[in-house]
Protein backbone atom coordinates (compact mmCIF):
# COMPACT_ATOMS: atom_id res chain seq x y z
CA UNK A 1 0.00 0.00 0.00
CA UNK A 2 1.18 3.53 -0.71
CA UNK A 3 0.05 6.40 1.50
CA UNK A 4 0.52 9.77 -0.15
CA UNK A 5 1.07 12.52 2.42
CA UNK A 6 2.79 12.33 5.79
CA UNK A 7 0.57 14.63 7.81
CA UNK A 8 -1.21 13.14 10.82
CA UNK A 9 -3.79 11.49 8.53
CA UNK A 10 -1.19 9.64 6.44
CA UNK A 11 0.79 8.62 9.51
CA UNK A 12 -2.29 7.24 11.26
CA UNK A 13 -3.30 5.27 8.16
CA UNK A 14 0.14 3.61 8.03
CA UNK A 15 0.21 3.06 11.80
CA UNK A 16 -3.24 1.48 11.88
CA UNK A 17 -2.76 -0.71 8.79
CA UNK A 18 0.47 -2.10 10.24
CA UNK A 19 -1.18 -2.62 13.62
CA UNK A 20 -3.90 -4.70 11.95
CA UNK A 21 -1.62 -6.37 9.35
CA UNK A 22 1.98 -6.36 10.60
CA UNK A 23 3.14 -8.16 7.41
CA UNK A 24 1.69 -5.51 5.07
CA UNK A 25 4.10 -3.55 2.89
CA UNK A 26 3.38 0.12 3.51
CA UNK A 27 5.14 3.22 2.22
CA UNK A 28 4.31 6.83 3.18
CA UNK A 29 5.51 9.50 0.73
CA UNK A 30 6.04 12.97 2.15
CA UNK A 31 7.74 15.74 0.13
CA UNK A 32 8.85 17.79 3.16
CA UNK A 33 11.96 17.06 5.16
CA UNK A 34 9.86 15.87 8.10
CA UNK A 35 6.42 14.39 8.77
CA UNK A 36 3.47 16.07 10.49
CA UNK A 37 2.11 18.41 7.82
CA UNK A 38 0.37 21.25 9.59
CA UNK A 39 1.42 19.96 12.98
CA UNK A 40 4.74 21.60 13.64
CA UNK A 41 6.85 23.42 16.18
CA UNK A 42 9.59 26.02 16.32
CA UNK A 43 12.12 27.10 18.90
CA UNK A 44 11.33 30.60 20.13
CA UNK A 45 13.18 32.27 23.01
CA UNK A 46 14.71 28.94 23.95
CA UNK A 47 11.55 26.79 24.08
CA UNK A 48 9.76 24.62 21.56
CA UNK A 49 6.30 25.87 20.80
CA UNK A 50 3.59 24.52 18.50
CA UNK A 51 3.22 26.60 15.34
CA UNK A 52 0.06 24.82 14.19
CA UNK A 53 -2.45 23.10 16.49
CA UNK A 54 -1.66 23.36 20.19
CA UNK A 55 -4.51 21.16 21.47
CA UNK A 56 -7.38 18.95 20.33
CA UNK A 57 -10.97 18.48 21.38
CA UNK A 58 -10.98 15.96 24.20
CA UNK A 59 -14.58 14.85 24.21
CA UNK A 60 -14.99 13.76 20.62
CA UNK A 61 -13.45 10.41 19.69
CA UNK A 62 -10.15 10.11 17.86
CA UNK A 63 -7.22 11.96 19.37
CA UNK A 64 -7.44 10.92 23.04
CA UNK A 65 -7.66 7.25 22.10
CA UNK A 66 -4.67 7.59 19.76
CA UNK A 67 -2.67 9.37 22.46
CA UNK A 68 -3.37 6.44 24.77
CA UNK A 69 -2.32 3.94 22.09
CA UNK A 70 0.92 5.86 21.64
CA UNK A 71 1.68 5.74 25.37
CA UNK A 72 0.79 9.38 25.93
CA UNK A 73 -2.37 8.76 27.93
CA UNK A 74 -0.90 9.79 31.28
CA UNK A 75 0.79 12.73 29.65
CA UNK A 76 -2.23 14.68 28.46
CA UNK A 77 -2.73 18.11 29.96
CA UNK A 78 -5.54 20.62 29.65
CA UNK A 79 -4.91 24.32 29.12
CA UNK A 80 -4.57 26.02 32.52
CA UNK A 81 -7.27 28.45 31.48
CA UNK A 82 -9.93 28.35 28.80
CA UNK A 83 -11.39 31.75 29.53
CA UNK A 84 -11.16 33.56 26.20
CA UNK A 85 -12.19 37.09 25.29
CA UNK A 86 -13.41 38.86 22.19
CA UNK A 87 -12.20 42.22 20.91
CA UNK A 88 -15.59 43.68 20.15
CA UNK A 89 -16.68 47.24 19.54
CA UNK A 90 -13.19 48.46 20.42
CA UNK A 91 -12.98 46.78 23.84
CA UNK A 92 -11.66 43.37 24.94
CA UNK A 93 -14.53 41.63 26.70
CA UNK A 94 -14.63 38.16 28.28
CA UNK A 95 -16.75 35.68 26.35
CA UNK A 96 -20.09 35.13 28.05
CA UNK A 97 -21.02 31.76 29.57
CA UNK A 98 -23.41 29.39 27.85
CA UNK A 99 -21.92 29.57 24.35
CA UNK A 100 -22.09 26.53 22.13
CA UNK A 101 -19.50 26.97 19.38
CA UNK A 102 -20.01 30.70 19.75
CA UNK A 103 -23.80 30.51 19.72
CA UNK A 104 -25.46 31.82 22.88
CA UNK A 105 -27.92 29.57 24.64
CA UNK A 106 -28.97 32.30 27.11
CA UNK A 107 -29.62 36.03 26.87
CA UNK A 108 -28.38 37.21 30.28
CA UNK A 109 -24.64 36.45 29.98
CA UNK A 110 -24.48 38.01 26.49
CA UNK A 111 -26.26 41.14 27.71
CA UNK A 112 -23.82 41.51 30.61
CA UNK A 113 -20.77 40.92 28.37
CA UNK A 114 -21.38 44.11 26.38
CA UNK A 115 -20.27 42.34 23.19
CA UNK A 116 -23.60 42.93 21.47
CA UNK A 117 -25.25 46.35 21.12
CA UNK A 118 -28.69 47.06 22.62
CA UNK A 119 -30.23 46.82 19.18
CA UNK A 120 -28.48 43.47 18.61
CA UNK A 121 -29.74 42.21 22.00
CA UNK A 122 -33.31 43.17 21.12
CA UNK A 123 -33.03 41.20 17.88
CA UNK A 124 -31.52 38.24 19.71
CA UNK A 125 -34.35 38.23 22.25
CA UNK A 126 -36.86 37.68 19.45
CA UNK A 127 -35.66 34.08 19.32
CA UNK A 128 -37.34 33.40 22.66
CA UNK A 129 -40.70 34.69 21.49
CA UNK A 130 -41.04 34.36 17.71
CA UNK A 131 -40.77 30.75 16.54
CA UNK A 132 -39.01 30.13 13.20
CA UNK A 133 -40.21 27.84 10.45
CA UNK A 134 -38.38 24.51 10.13
CA UNK A 135 -35.93 24.66 7.20
CA UNK A 136 -34.77 21.49 5.47
CA UNK A 137 -31.36 21.11 3.82
CA UNK A 138 -27.96 22.64 4.42
CA UNK A 139 -27.53 26.38 5.00
CA UNK A 140 -24.72 28.76 5.78
CA UNK A 141 -23.95 29.34 9.46
CA UNK A 142 -24.95 33.00 8.98
CA UNK A 143 -28.33 32.01 7.63
CA UNK A 144 -29.03 29.21 10.09
CA UNK A 145 -28.01 31.15 13.20
CA UNK A 146 -28.73 34.67 11.95
CA UNK A 147 -32.36 33.84 11.16
CA UNK A 148 -32.86 33.11 14.88
CA UNK A 149 -30.50 35.54 16.62
CA UNK A 150 -29.73 38.31 14.11
CA UNK A 151 -26.59 39.24 12.19
CA UNK A 152 -24.76 40.97 15.05
CA UNK A 153 -24.53 37.78 17.10
CA UNK A 154 -23.20 36.01 14.03
CA UNK A 155 -20.59 38.71 13.31
CA UNK A 156 -19.44 39.27 16.89
CA UNK A 157 -19.59 35.78 18.41
CA UNK A 158 -20.34 32.94 16.02
CA UNK A 159 -18.08 33.94 13.16
CA UNK A 160 -14.96 34.54 15.31
CA UNK A 161 -15.46 31.30 17.24
CA UNK A 162 -16.90 28.83 14.76
CA UNK A 163 -15.66 30.48 11.57
CA UNK A 164 -12.32 31.20 13.24
CA UNK A 165 -11.63 27.50 13.77
CA UNK A 166 -11.05 27.10 10.03
CA UNK A 167 -10.41 30.74 8.98
CA UNK A 168 -13.80 30.59 7.28
CA UNK A 169 -16.61 33.09 6.66
CA UNK A 170 -19.98 32.23 8.21
CA UNK A 171 -21.71 33.38 5.03
CA UNK A 172 -20.24 30.40 3.19
CA UNK A 173 -19.62 27.94 6.02
CA UNK A 174 -21.94 24.90 5.96
CA UNK A 175 -23.79 24.52 9.24
CA UNK A 176 -24.37 20.82 8.56
CA UNK A 177 -20.68 20.10 7.98
CA UNK A 178 -19.05 22.51 10.44
CA UNK A 179 -21.44 22.20 13.35
CA UNK A 180 -24.03 19.41 13.16
CA UNK A 181 -25.02 20.12 16.77
CA UNK A 182 -25.98 23.67 15.81
CA UNK A 183 -27.63 22.52 12.59
CA UNK A 184 -30.02 20.32 14.54
CA UNK A 185 -30.83 23.07 17.03
CA UNK A 186 -31.28 25.67 14.28
CA UNK A 187 -34.00 23.49 12.72
CA UNK A 188 -36.06 23.89 15.89
CA UNK A 189 -38.53 26.79 16.20
CA UNK A 190 -36.46 28.44 18.97
CA UNK A 191 -32.68 28.08 18.77
CA UNK A 192 -31.61 29.06 22.28
CA UNK A 193 -34.24 26.85 23.85
CA UNK A 194 -33.07 23.92 21.70
CA UNK A 195 -29.45 24.58 22.69
CA UNK A 196 -30.32 24.63 26.38
CA UNK A 197 -31.97 21.24 25.93
CA UNK A 198 -28.93 19.93 24.05
CA UNK A 199 -26.54 21.24 26.70
CA UNK A 200 -28.06 18.80 29.10
CA UNK A 201 -26.79 15.90 26.98
CA UNK A 202 -23.22 14.66 27.03
CA UNK A 203 -22.96 14.55 23.23
CA UNK A 204 -23.47 18.25 22.84
CA UNK A 205 -21.28 19.17 25.79
CA UNK A 206 -18.32 17.52 24.12
CA UNK A 207 -18.37 20.06 21.31
CA UNK A 208 -18.99 23.19 23.24
CA UNK A 209 -15.74 25.12 22.98
CA UNK A 210 -14.24 27.60 25.35
CA UNK A 211 -16.79 28.41 27.99
CA UNK A 212 -17.30 25.04 29.70
CA UNK A 213 -16.18 24.23 33.24
CA UNK A 214 -14.58 20.87 32.49
CA UNK A 215 -11.54 20.88 30.17
CA UNK A 216 -12.63 20.69 26.58
CA UNK A 217 -9.15 20.60 25.06
CA UNK A 218 -6.13 18.42 25.75
CA UNK A 219 -2.59 18.16 24.45
CA UNK A 220 0.45 16.01 25.24
CA UNK A 221 2.59 17.69 27.88
CA UNK A 222 5.39 18.39 25.36
CA UNK A 223 2.98 19.73 22.72
CA UNK A 224 0.86 18.30 19.91
CA UNK A 225 3.97 17.48 17.81
CA UNK A 226 4.70 14.76 20.36
CA UNK A 227 1.87 12.75 18.74
CA UNK A 228 3.65 12.98 15.38
CA UNK A 229 6.99 12.01 16.94
CA UNK A 230 5.40 8.96 18.57
CA UNK A 231 3.65 7.91 15.35
CA UNK A 232 6.88 8.20 13.36
CA UNK A 233 8.75 6.23 16.04
CA UNK A 234 6.08 3.51 15.95
CA UNK A 235 6.53 2.93 12.20
CA UNK A 236 9.22 0.54 10.95
CA UNK A 237 12.21 2.48 9.60
CA UNK A 238 11.55 1.99 5.87
CA UNK A 239 7.87 3.08 5.89
CA UNK A 240 8.16 6.87 5.97
CA UNK A 241 9.99 8.31 2.99
CA UNK A 242 10.49 12.02 3.53
CA UNK A 243 11.72 14.26 0.75
CA UNK A 244 9.66 12.31 -1.81
CA UNK A 245 6.32 13.57 -3.11
CA UNK A 246 3.90 11.75 -5.39
CA UNK A 247 4.06 13.01 -8.98
CA UNK A 248 1.41 10.86 -10.61
CA UNK A 249 -0.90 7.94 -10.23
CA UNK A 250 -1.45 5.40 -13.04
CA UNK A 251 -3.18 2.08 -13.40
CA UNK A 252 -1.11 -1.08 -13.45
CA UNK A 253 -2.08 -3.39 -16.31
CA UNK A 254 -2.16 -6.38 -13.98
CA UNK A 255 -4.38 -4.55 -11.46
CA UNK A 256 -3.73 -2.00 -8.77
CA UNK A 257 -1.88 1.27 -9.10
CA UNK A 258 1.53 2.75 -9.78
CA UNK A 259 2.58 5.80 -7.80
CA UNK A 260 5.47 7.67 -9.39
CA UNK A 261 7.44 9.70 -6.90
CA UNK A 262 9.46 12.86 -7.38
CA UNK A 263 12.49 10.55 -7.04
CA UNK A 264 11.46 8.90 -10.33
CA UNK A 265 10.72 5.58 -8.60
CA UNK A 266 7.51 3.75 -9.54
CA UNK A 267 5.84 2.08 -6.58
CA UNK A 268 3.16 -0.51 -7.26
CA UNK A 269 0.32 -0.92 -4.80
CA UNK A 270 -3.08 -2.56 -4.66
CA UNK A 271 -4.34 0.31 -2.52
CA UNK A 272 -3.42 3.98 -2.46
CA UNK A 273 -4.48 6.37 0.28
CA UNK A 274 -4.51 10.03 -0.68
CA UNK A 275 -3.81 11.85 2.59
CA UNK A 276 -2.93 15.03 0.73
CA UNK A 277 -4.72 18.40 0.60
CA UNK A 278 -7.74 18.21 -1.74
CA UNK A 279 -6.16 20.13 -4.69
CA UNK A 280 -3.19 17.70 -4.68
CA UNK A 281 -5.56 14.72 -4.53
CA UNK A 282 -7.51 16.28 -7.44
CA UNK A 283 -4.36 16.40 -9.58
CA UNK A 284 -3.56 12.78 -8.81
CA UNK A 285 -7.02 11.31 -9.53
CA UNK A 286 -8.26 13.62 -12.32
CA UNK A 287 -7.23 11.30 -15.17
CA UNK A 288 -8.97 8.31 -13.60
CA UNK A 289 -12.05 10.00 -12.17
CA UNK A 290 -12.78 13.38 -13.75
CA UNK A 291 -15.88 13.66 -11.54
CA UNK A 292 -13.89 13.23 -8.33
CA UNK A 293 -11.19 15.57 -9.70
CA UNK A 294 -13.63 18.40 -10.34
CA UNK A 295 -15.31 18.04 -6.95
CA UNK A 296 -11.97 17.87 -5.10
CA UNK A 297 -10.85 21.03 -6.87
CA UNK A 298 -14.02 22.73 -5.64
CA UNK A 299 -12.87 22.53 -2.01
CA UNK A 300 -11.39 25.96 -1.30
CA UNK A 301 -8.56 26.59 1.15
CA UNK A 302 -7.74 29.54 3.39
CA UNK A 303 -4.19 30.64 4.20
CA UNK A 304 -3.12 31.80 7.64
CA UNK A 305 0.03 32.97 9.37
CA UNK A 306 0.71 31.96 12.92
CA UNK A 307 3.33 34.06 14.65
CA UNK A 308 4.96 33.42 18.00
CA UNK A 309 6.19 36.58 19.72
CA UNK A 310 8.47 36.45 22.76
CA UNK A 311 8.49 39.51 25.02
CA UNK A 312 10.86 40.15 27.86
CA UNK A 313 8.89 39.38 31.03
CA UNK A 314 9.52 42.90 32.36
CA UNK A 315 8.09 44.55 29.27
CA UNK A 316 4.62 43.00 29.04
CA UNK A 317 1.54 42.56 31.20
CA UNK A 318 -0.97 40.22 29.63
CA UNK A 319 -4.69 40.53 30.20
CA UNK A 320 -6.20 37.60 32.12
CA UNK A 321 -7.50 34.48 30.38
CA UNK A 322 -6.27 32.36 27.50
CA UNK A 323 -6.40 34.93 24.72
CA UNK A 324 -8.78 36.72 22.43
CA UNK A 325 -10.66 36.44 19.17
CA UNK A 326 -11.05 39.32 16.76
CA UNK A 327 -14.27 39.59 14.71
CA UNK A 328 -13.60 40.60 11.08
CA UNK A 329 -15.92 43.56 11.64
CA UNK A 330 -13.10 45.14 13.71
CA UNK A 331 -11.00 45.35 10.52
CA UNK A 332 -7.81 44.25 12.29
CA UNK A 333 -4.90 42.29 10.84
CA UNK A 334 -4.95 39.97 13.84
CA UNK A 335 -7.63 37.27 13.83
CA UNK A 336 -6.79 35.76 17.23
CA UNK A 337 -4.14 35.78 19.94
CA UNK A 338 -3.41 33.35 22.70
CA UNK A 339 -1.45 33.95 25.89
CA UNK A 340 0.81 30.91 25.79
CA UNK A 341 2.09 31.38 29.36
CA UNK A 342 -1.45 31.41 30.73
CA UNK A 343 -2.55 28.39 28.68
CA UNK A 344 0.51 26.18 29.04
CA UNK A 345 2.42 27.32 32.17
CA UNK A 346 4.62 24.19 32.09
CA UNK A 347 6.02 25.24 28.68
CA UNK A 348 7.08 28.81 29.40
CA UNK A 349 10.32 30.46 28.43
CA UNK A 350 12.40 31.68 31.35
CA UNK A 351 12.52 35.47 31.42
CA UNK A 352 10.11 35.79 28.50
CA UNK A 353 6.37 35.78 27.87
CA UNK A 354 5.16 34.02 24.73
CA UNK A 355 2.17 35.09 22.66
CA UNK A 356 0.75 33.34 19.59
CA UNK A 357 -0.99 35.72 17.21
CA UNK A 358 -2.52 34.83 13.86
CA UNK A 359 -3.56 36.63 10.70
CA UNK A 360 -5.43 35.58 7.58
CA UNK A 361 -8.88 34.27 6.73
CA UNK A 362 -10.58 33.04 3.58
CA UNK A 363 -11.39 36.64 2.57
CA UNK A 364 -8.36 38.38 4.09
CA UNK A 365 -4.95 37.67 2.55
CA UNK A 366 -3.32 40.97 3.54
CA UNK A 367 -0.55 39.12 5.34
CA UNK A 368 0.54 37.41 2.11
CA UNK A 369 1.75 40.75 0.78
CA UNK A 370 3.71 41.52 3.96
CA UNK A 371 7.26 40.52 4.85
CA UNK A 372 7.72 38.63 8.10
CA UNK A 373 9.05 41.83 9.70
CA UNK A 374 6.00 43.82 8.60
CA UNK A 375 3.64 41.11 9.82
CA UNK A 376 5.31 40.91 13.23
CA UNK A 377 5.32 44.70 13.47
CA UNK A 378 1.61 44.89 12.54
CA UNK A 379 0.58 42.22 15.03
CA UNK A 380 2.79 43.72 17.73
CA UNK A 381 1.08 47.09 17.28
CA UNK A 382 -2.38 45.57 17.60
CA UNK A 383 -1.34 43.49 20.61
CA UNK A 384 -0.04 46.68 22.23
CA UNK A 385 -3.60 47.99 22.20
CA UNK A 386 -4.93 45.09 24.26
CA UNK A 387 -1.95 44.10 26.44
CA UNK A 388 0.34 46.44 28.33
CA UNK A 389 3.49 46.13 26.18
CA UNK A 390 6.49 48.39 26.69
CA UNK A 391 9.04 47.01 24.19
CA UNK A 392 9.35 45.10 20.92
CA UNK A 393 9.51 41.29 21.04
CA UNK A 394 12.99 39.91 21.73
CA UNK A 395 12.43 36.87 19.50
CA UNK A 396 9.77 35.74 17.11
CA UNK A 397 8.80 33.09 14.58
CA UNK A 398 6.42 33.28 11.64
CA UNK A 399 4.75 30.11 10.34
CA UNK A 400 3.02 30.76 7.03
CA UNK A 401 0.42 28.08 6.46
CA UNK A 402 -0.51 28.62 2.82
CA UNK A 403 -3.75 26.96 1.72
CA UNK A 404 -3.99 25.18 5.04
CA UNK A 405 -7.63 25.33 6.12
CA UNK A 406 -10.12 23.43 3.93
CA UNK A 407 -13.38 25.35 3.63
CA UNK A 408 -16.57 23.46 4.38
CA UNK A 409 -18.79 25.51 2.11
CA UNK A 410 -22.57 25.00 2.03
CA UNK A 411 -23.24 21.56 0.51
CA UNK A 412 -19.88 20.18 1.68
CA UNK A 413 -21.20 16.87 3.00
CA UNK A 414 -23.00 16.15 -0.26
CA UNK A 415 -19.84 17.07 -2.18
CA UNK A 416 -17.80 14.58 -0.15
CA UNK A 417 -20.47 11.90 -0.72
CA UNK A 418 -20.15 12.51 -4.48
CA UNK A 419 -16.34 12.39 -4.36
CA UNK A 420 -16.33 9.11 -2.46
CA UNK A 421 -18.94 7.54 -4.72
CA UNK A 422 -17.07 8.63 -7.88
CA UNK A 423 -13.75 7.26 -6.60
CA UNK A 424 -15.28 3.98 -5.59
CA UNK A 425 -16.68 3.54 -9.11
CA UNK A 426 -13.89 5.03 -11.20
CA UNK A 427 -10.77 4.26 -9.19
CA UNK A 428 -11.30 1.28 -6.87
CA UNK A 429 -8.48 0.96 -4.39
CA UNK A 430 -7.92 4.72 -4.16
CA UNK A 431 -9.13 6.05 -0.81
CA UNK A 432 -9.13 9.55 0.72
CA UNK A 433 -8.13 10.58 4.23
CA UNK A 434 -7.52 13.91 5.91
CA UNK A 435 -8.95 17.15 7.16
CA UNK A 436 -10.71 18.19 3.95
CA UNK A 437 -13.67 15.84 4.18
CA UNK A 438 -15.57 14.85 7.33
CA UNK A 439 -14.22 17.21 9.98
CA UNK A 440 -11.19 19.49 9.93
CA UNK A 441 -9.80 19.20 13.48
CA UNK A 442 -7.27 16.62 14.64
CA UNK A 443 -9.78 14.12 16.13
CA UNK A 444 -11.91 14.06 12.97
CA UNK A 445 -8.78 13.80 10.82
CA UNK A 446 -7.66 10.80 12.86
CA UNK A 447 -11.11 9.22 12.49
CA UNK A 448 -10.96 9.71 8.71
CA UNK A 449 -7.56 8.01 8.69
CA UNK A 450 -8.87 5.07 10.71
CA UNK A 451 -11.82 4.74 8.34
CA UNK A 452 -9.44 4.75 5.35
CA UNK A 453 -7.23 2.14 6.98
CA UNK A 454 -10.23 -0.09 7.72
CA UNK A 455 -11.30 0.10 4.07
CA UNK A 456 -7.82 -0.68 2.79
CA UNK A 457 -7.36 -3.60 5.16
C1 LIG B 1 -2.41 27.18 12.17
C2 LIG B 1 -3.27 25.96 12.41
C3 LIG B 1 -3.80 25.74 13.66
C4 LIG B 1 -4.61 24.63 13.90
N5 LIG B 1 -5.07 24.42 15.16
C6 LIG B 1 -5.76 23.29 15.44
C7 LIG B 1 -6.10 22.99 16.80
O8 LIG B 1 -5.77 23.74 17.73
N9 LIG B 1 -6.78 21.82 17.03
C10 LIG B 1 -7.11 20.96 16.01
O11 LIG B 1 -7.72 19.91 16.29
N12 LIG B 1 -6.77 21.21 14.73
C13 LIG B 1 -6.09 22.34 14.42
N14 LIG B 1 -5.70 22.59 13.13
C15 LIG B 1 -6.08 21.62 12.08
C16 LIG B 1 -5.11 20.43 12.05
O17 LIG B 1 -3.81 20.91 11.91
C18 LIG B 1 -5.49 19.50 10.91
O19 LIG B 1 -6.73 18.91 11.20
C20 LIG B 1 -4.51 18.35 10.66
O21 LIG B 1 -3.19 18.67 10.94
C22 LIG B 1 -4.68 17.91 9.21
O23 LIG B 1 -3.88 16.80 8.94
P24 LIG B 1 -3.83 16.14 7.49
O25 LIG B 1 -2.90 14.99 7.59
O26 LIG B 1 -5.20 15.92 6.99
O27 LIG B 1 -3.23 17.28 6.52
P28 LIG B 1 -1.78 17.93 6.42
O29 LIG B 1 -1.22 18.13 7.77
O30 LIG B 1 -1.93 19.10 5.53
O31 LIG B 1 -0.91 16.82 5.68
C32 LIG B 1 -0.92 16.65 4.28
C33 LIG B 1 0.46 16.23 3.87
O34 LIG B 1 0.47 15.97 2.47
C35 LIG B 1 1.74 16.34 1.99
N36 LIG B 1 1.72 16.48 0.53
C37 LIG B 1 1.36 17.54 -0.23
N38 LIG B 1 1.55 17.25 -1.53
C39 LIG B 1 2.04 15.99 -1.60
C40 LIG B 1 2.42 15.14 -2.67
N41 LIG B 1 2.36 15.50 -3.97
N42 LIG B 1 2.89 13.90 -2.38
C43 LIG B 1 2.97 13.47 -1.09
N44 LIG B 1 2.59 14.25 -0.04
C45 LIG B 1 2.15 15.48 -0.30
C46 LIG B 1 2.03 17.64 2.73
O47 LIG B 1 3.40 17.96 2.70
C48 LIG B 1 1.51 17.32 4.12
O49 LIG B 1 2.52 16.82 4.96
C50 LIG B 1 -4.90 23.71 12.85
C51 LIG B 1 -4.36 23.95 11.57
C52 LIG B 1 -3.55 25.03 11.36
C53 LIG B 1 -2.96 25.26 9.98
- The string of pLDDT tens digits covering residues 202-228 is 544 444 444 445 678 999 999 999 999
Whether 201 has a pLDDT exceeding 80, the answer reads no
Q: Which domain holds residue 130?
A: 96-209
Same domain, 277 and 349: no
Instruction: Decide whether any atom of ligand 1 lies within 6 Å of the 102 Cβ.
Output: no
Q: Which residues contact 337 (CB under 8 A, 6 or more apart)?
A: 323, 324, 326, 355, 356, 357, 358, 379, 383, 386
Q: Of how many residues is the chain composed?
A: 457
Task: Give residue 195 CA to ligand 1 midpoint distance, Å.
Answer: 31
Establish if 43 belongs to a structural domain. Answer: no
Same domain, 323 and 375: yes
Establish if 44 belongs to a structural domain. Answer: no
Whether the CB-CB separation of 209 and 217 falls below 8 Å is answered with no
Same domain, 412 and 443: yes
What is the spatial distance between Cα 397 and Cα 415, in angstroms, rounded to a whole number? 37
Establish if 88 belongs to a structural domain. Answer: no
In the beta sheet, which residues pair with residue 200? none
Question: 263-310: per-residue pLDDT in tens?
Answer: 999 999 999 999 999 999 999 999 999 999 999 999 999 999 999 999
Same domain, 218 and 337: yes
Instruction: Decide whether any atom of ligand 1 lies within 6 Å of the 52 Cβ.
Output: yes
Report H helices in 81-166: 107-113, 118-129, 141-149, 151-153, 164-165
Establish if 261 belongs to a structural domain. Answer: yes
Whether 135 has a pLDDT exceeding 90, the answer reads no
Residue 215: what pLDDT? 79
Question: 357-409: per-residue pLDDT in tens?
Answer: 999 999 999 999 999 999 999 999 999 999 999 999 999 999 999 999 999 99
Whether the CB-CB separation of 398 and 333 falls below 8 Å is answered with no
Establish if 342 belongs to a structural domain. Answer: yes
Residue 294: what pLDDT? 98
Of 258, 274, 254, whose CA–CA distance to 266 is shortest? 258
Helix, strand, coil percentages (3-state) for the chain, rounded to 5, are 40, 25, 35
Residue 198: what pLDDT? 87
Of 109, 328, 298, whose CA–CA distance to 290 is shortest? 298
90 band by pLDDT with thresholds 50, 70 and 90: confident
Question: 322-360: per-residue pLDDT in tens?
Answer: 999 999 999 999 999 999 999 999 999 899 999 999 999
CATH of residue 273's domain is 3.50.50.60
As a whole number, mean pLDDT of residues 437-445 equals 98
- Which of these three, 183, 209, 235, is where a domain ends? 209
Whether 112 has a pLDDT exceeding 90, the answer reads yes
Same domain, 281 and 359: no
Same domain, 134 and 171: yes
Same domain, 311 and 368: yes
What is the spatial distance between Cα 133 and Cα 4, in angstroms, rounded to a whole number? 46
Same domain, 422 and 387: no
Same domain, 103 and 203: yes
Instruction: Decide whether any atom of ligand 1 lies within 6 Å of the 409 Cβ.
Output: no
Residue 214: what pLDDT? 61
CATH of residue 101's domain is 1.10.3110.10
As a whole number, mean pLDDT of residues 144-171 equals 97
**Pocket probe mutation, ligand 1, options 38, 82, 207, 220, max atoms within 8 Å of Cβ:** 38
As a whole number, mean pLDDT of residues 112-134 equals 95
As a whole number, mean pLDDT of residues 63-68 equals 97
Amino acid sequence: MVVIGGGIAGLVVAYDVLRRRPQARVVVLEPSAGAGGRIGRARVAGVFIDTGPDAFLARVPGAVELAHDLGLGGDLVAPATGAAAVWSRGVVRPLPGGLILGVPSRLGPVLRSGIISRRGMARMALDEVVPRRRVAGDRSVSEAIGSHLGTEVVERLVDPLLGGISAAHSDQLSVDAAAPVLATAARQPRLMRALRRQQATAGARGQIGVTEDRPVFLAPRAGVTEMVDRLVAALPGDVLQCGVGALSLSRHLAGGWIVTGTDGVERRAMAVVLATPAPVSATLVRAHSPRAGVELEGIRYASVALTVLAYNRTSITLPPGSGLLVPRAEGRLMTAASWWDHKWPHLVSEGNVLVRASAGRIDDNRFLAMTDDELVQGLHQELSQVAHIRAMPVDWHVARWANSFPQYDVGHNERVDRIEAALEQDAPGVVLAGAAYRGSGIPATIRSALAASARVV
